[in-house]
Amino acid sequence: MGNFLKKNWFVAIVAALLLGVSIFYIYDTNKGKLRGKSVNGEDVVFSVAEQDVTTSAFYDELYESGGSTLLASLIEKTVLDQSIETTEEMREEASAQAPVIRQNYMYQYSNQYESVLGDQLIQMGYSGIDDLEQALIDQMKLVTLQSDYAKEHFDELQIRNVSYILVQFSEDSEKTETPNEDEQKRMDAVDAAFAKGDDFATVATNHSEDPSTAPTGGVLGTIDNNTTSLDQAFLDGALALKEGEVSDWIYSSNFGFFKIKNNASTYDSLEAFVKAQEASTEELEESIIVNPIEDLVTQYDTTLLAKALWEKAEALGIDFHGDAELEERIKTLFGVLEESE
C-alpha cells in the first residue's frame, strides 16, 4: 500500500481532496433541509410532548373532519373523467372564463385571492389553483351529466315548459280563495282576452302582473316535479296539466291567482317550443334560454346532480372493497342510501 501511494501520490491527494469536497457538499446541501423521522417503519408527521404522531394516526384525524366529503368530490371527478368527453369547446370556454374568475376573486380577496381560490379548489378535490381551468371544464361536464340524466328520466320527472299569467292580490285584499271585486275584474279581463281569440303569450304580455315574465309572453321556463322553489299551488297546478292545456284560475295564498299553460311536456315538443320561441324573439321584449334542459338543471332543479352522479357511478361500476361503513357514508352523502337498501 505504501509503495502504491508513493508511486501515485498525486492521484491519492486529488482523491482525498475530492472526498473532502464531497463530504462538505453533502453536509452543506443537507444542513438547511427538514429531516424526517420514522417510528416502527412509519413516517412521523409531528411530535409534541414526547409523543410521535404518525401518518396513519394523522390520516385518521384528517378523515374525521371531512374526509368522506372529499372522497365524494374525488368520486365526482372520477365519474366525470370517465363518462363525459372533454371537448375543444369546453377547453376554449374554460380558458376564456378562468381569467375572469381570477379577477373576481382578486377584487374580493385582494392579495389573498390565490390562497382562497386554491383552498376552494382543493376542497373540490383538485390540487390547487393550477387546476382552475380543469375545474371549469368539470362544471360544464356536470351540467351535461345532469342534462343527460334529466332526458333519460324525462317522464318520471314530469319535465315541462310552462307559461303563466298572474293576477296579484289587490292592496286591500283579504287574500282568500274568493277574489274581491277588483281582483275579479282583472281576472275577467284576462278571460275576455282569451275569449276574443288572443293566444296565451299575447294575453300574458298584456295582462300578467309579474314583470319578470310578462315581457316573454309569460314563459317561466322548464321545470319538473323537484322545482320546490316554486309556490306549491303553482307547481301542483302546472304538473297536473297535459301538454297544450291551460288551467283554470289557481289560487295561491302567496301571490294571487294564476293561469298556467303547459307549453310542452315531451322532449321533442320542448325542443320545438324553444326553437319557435327563438324564432319569434324579435316579437318579444326579451330573449329566451336556448337549451331548456340546461335551463332546468341549472336553475329549477338542482337536486339531480347527486342522483345523476350516482347513477353514472353505478353504471361504470363502483366498488368499496368491502368497507361497508364507507359505503354507507358515501351513499348518505349522495342521498341514495334508502334507494339502495
Positions that interact with another protein (CB under 8 A) = 8, 11-12, 14-15, 18-19, 22, 25-26, 29-30, 33-37, 41-49, 51, 53, 55-56, 58-59, 61-63, 65-67, 70-71, 74-75, 78-79, 81-82, 119, 122-123, 125, 127-128, 313, 316-321, 323, 326, 330
Least Å distance, CB 40 to another protein, is 10
- Report the SS3 class of residue 52: strand
Phi, psi angle pair for 153, to nearest 5°: -115, 30
Closer residue to another protein (CB): 53 or 230: 53
Least Å distance, CB 256 to another protein, is 37
Closer residue to another protein (CB): 15 or 290: 15
Are 330 and 320 in contact, with CB atoms under 8 Å apart? yes
Least Å distance, CB 162 to another protein, is 37
Least Å distance, CB 161 to another protein, is 35
Q: DSSP states of 86-130 as a string?
A: PPHHHHHHHHHHHHHHHHHHHHHHGGGHHHHHHHHHHHTT-SSGG
Cell 368530490: give the residue: 73
Closer residue to another protein (CB): 43 or 236: 43
| Residues 225, 238: Cα–Cα separation, whole Å | 9
Residue type, 125: G
Contacts 24+ apart (CB under 8 A), 107-112: none
Are 156 and 308 in contact, with CB atoms under 8 Å apart? no
Least Å distance, CB 65 to another protein, is 6
| Residues 180, 175: Cα–Cα separation, whole Å | 9
Least Å distance, CB 66 to another protein, is 7
Least Å distance, CB 62 to another protein, is 4
Are 135 and 235 in contact, with CB atoms under 8 Å apart? no
Least Å distance, CB 305 to another protein, is 16
The radius of gyration of the chain's CA atoms, rounded to the nearest angstrom, is 32
- Report the SS3 class of residue 157: helix
Closer residue to another protein (CB): 126 or 273: 126
| Residues 80, 150: Cα–Cα separation, whole Å | 16
Cell of 91: 377547453
Phi, psi angle pair for 263, to nearest 5°: -75, -35
Q: DSSP states of 271-287 as a string?
A: HHHHHHHHHTGGGSSS-
E strand intervals along 2-149: 38-39, 42-48, 51-54
Closer residue to another protein (CB): 128 or 215: 128
